[in-house]
Amino acid sequence: KQEVTQIPAALSVPEGENLVLNCSFTDSAIYNLQWFRQDPGKGLTSLLLIQSSQREQTSGRLNASLDKSSGRSTLYIAASQPGDSATYLCAAYGGSQGNLIFGKGTKLSVKP
């Protein structure tokens, strides 16, 4: 049974700092891994999707990496801004079962 864990649960950083969010998964037989952003009380915004054959994906100040052998993914945020404050969720997709398995998220606070 796939389990996804995110560390830390919460993170507070000053504006401008580079930061790394961690995600680990127990079953390496994933189809892809996706990072989402969730603002309070809102739905999910997809940030980056990494296919199982890929090692990383980049979008603007965001870079996500995937190491299937170690069961880990990281989301790197460069030059953080107060607008980046949100909860970041990672989710593993196994394919045949259809559903995403989510971690519980990292709540990020970027202080001006």
Partner 1 sequence: EAGVTQSPTHLIKTRGQQATLRCSPISGHTSVYWYQQALGLGLQFLLWYDEGEERNRGNFPPRFSGRQFPNYSSELNVNALELEDSALYLCASSLLVGEGGETQYFGPGTRLLVL
- Sign of the CA dihedral with 7 first, then 20, 86, and 24 last: negative
Task: Say if CB 90 and CB 102 are below 8 A apart.
Answer: yes
Provide, rounded to whole angstroms, the least separation between the CB of residue 45 and partner 1: 8
Q: Which stretch binds partner 1 (CB under 8 A): 18-26, 45-53, 64-72, 74-82?
A: 45-53
Minimum Å gap between C-beta 105 and partner 1 is 7
Site string for partner 1, 83-112 (x = CB under 8 A): ------x-x-x-xxxxxxxxxxx-------
Chain residues binding partner 1 by CB under 8 A are 31-32, 34, 36, 41-46, 49, 51, 89, 91, 93, 95-105
